[in-house]
Amino acid sequence: MKKHLEFRNFLGIFLFLFLAGSLSAQSTFYKKYQHEVKQWGNCVIETSDGGYAVVGVTTSTNYVYQADVWLLKTDSSGDTLWTKTFGTSGRDEGFCLIETSDHGFIIAATKEVPQHYNDGWVFKTDANGNMEWEHVFGTESNGESASSIVDAGNHSFLISGNVNSKSYVFKIDDEGNVIWEQTYFPNQNSSTTSICQLSNNTFAIVGSFQMYPAGGWYPNLFTIDSIGNLGYQLTYAFIGTGGFSFITNTTDGGMVFGGEENGESVVYKRSATGVEEWNYHYESGYMTWAMAATETSDNNLVITDNSWDASLRKLDMTTGDTLWTRTSNLNNDNPRYTNMTTTSDNGLIITGYTYNYNHGLILVKTMQNGSMTDIENQKSIQKSISLNQNFPNPFNEQTELNFNLSKPESIELYITDLNNKRIKTLLKEPLAPGVYNYIWDGNNANGVACPSGIYCAILKTKNGITQTRKIIKILK
């Protein structure tokens, strides 16, 4: 028995040291890359060899209208293996890249073309960054671009972009042949920024949508099937102008997307069937955008925005609540993050640029909790609200909403339909800690009775904590 206890003690110590060593071995670094006068990264991926690839922009002058696509390849420590530039004498920019089965890269970009302003540009390189083929598309009247790429299987890819101020998606094979192409919403101007795959037959695209000629642009989401047929479209026009900058799928079959609405960062979570599960607005500097999100190994989310403090924020996947935030000035470089993804060791790899005098591209590798030793400030966010299920539910004439508040907060309580269209605001004011009860009479903001259906009661604080409860109304 004593030998067995000694062995178990030894085994326990060994496992503890092994796990601790594995966590501590998770690499971190902060790298700056200077090619010409100014440069920044727009997209970063982890490559099959354990290193990283970044695509973005480099300029030979202080003027961004003279720029080239810049492709940077590093090893796992962020040390440069090679760089390549692609472009014309005008303004060219790379927005997204994906690694191919032969370890090359396909890049979505825009390039300046005489008499065309800018055209959409997709090209493939080999594993060393040498161009193998290119596909250019556009018209004479407007600036075009290829904005995002997703692997569609069978050596093919779906690429979102913009043609003649219209949302545009096309499918291309790994040799550059267009399989199909489709423009969307012919009667209004629109644009796309990001695409993701939700299932074998469904893709989701986000961007902006102009609802009226010469009017404001609003965040837009739409889905298509594998041959480009339009599914559903949602334009978020009830809060303010803005646009969505990213969308990513989640392991539960849903999607997370975000960007900017009315000058504030915003993130939404929808289920695989398109039902909204939560949304999250948080206070930040004016015109701050949520730029990217990635799912973590514990099935939660980390998002970043374009504020000047290397901002990271972890969200609960189920509720959208903020779990922690991190900021850093990273050696007084005032970095701005633009894109990130989860790495094979469950860390984060992030790109962006500095806002000091040299405006350099950055590559940042953090641990799974977003940290790098002694360079960031972490702030844990404690949940201060608790929204209880309404009673009665289902209801006919009216229902009571009850919530608890553990500390002083600026609170908003409102009702939406399943498309997130606001029906009625019940409360919007600062409150002291306590228990509160509010009645929804089943009417909209104009006093008109809402039809039978499923609605959402949303309780939100100004620091981004949101809770949602589903409400069922059944008319007699």
- What's the pLDDT score for residue 283? 63
Confidence at 285, pLDDT banded by 50, 70, 90: low
Q: How many CB atoms lie within 10 A of CB 29?
A: 15
Distance CA 78, CA 128 (A): 17
Residue range 234-262, pLDDT digits in tens: 999 877 789 999 999 999 999 999 999 88
Task: Please state the length of the chain.
Answer: 476
- What's the pLDDT score for residue 349? 96
Average pLDDT over residues 12-41: 65
- Helix, coil or strand: residue 205: strand
- What's the pLDDT score for residue 327? 83
pLDDT at 20 over 70: no
- What's the pLDDT score for residue 468? 81
Confidence at 22, pLDDT banded by 50, 70, 90: very low
Higher-scoring residue by pLDDT: 7, 270: 270
Given a contact cutoff of 8 angstroms between Cβ atoms, the answer to whether 405 and 434 are in contact is: yes
Q: Determine the Cα angle at 307 with ends 268 and 221, to 5°.
A: 25
pLDDT at 459 over 70: yes
Given a contact cutoff of 8 angstroms between Cβ atoms, the answer to whether 27 and 371 are in contact is: no
- Helix, coil or strand: residue 15: helix
Of 153, 39, 34, give the one whose Cα is nearest residue 98.
153
- What's the pLDDT score for residue 206? 98
Distance CA 104, CA 358 (A): 30
- What's the pLDDT score for residue 383? 61
pLDDT at 143 over 70: yes
Q: What is the mean pLDDT of the chain?
A: 86
pLDDT at 288 over 90: no
Average pLDDT over residues 99-121: 91
Residue range 308-361, pLDDT digits in tens: 788 899 998 988 888 888 887 666 788 889 999 999 999 999 999 987 656 789
- What's the pLDDT score for residue 11? 41
- What's the pLDDT score for residue 18? 40
Distance CA 450, CA 424 (A): 10
Distance CA 453, CA 270 (A): 18
Residue range 395-412, pLDDT digits in tens: 998 999 999 988 888 889
Of 124, 125, 166, give the one whose Cα is nearest residue 145.
166
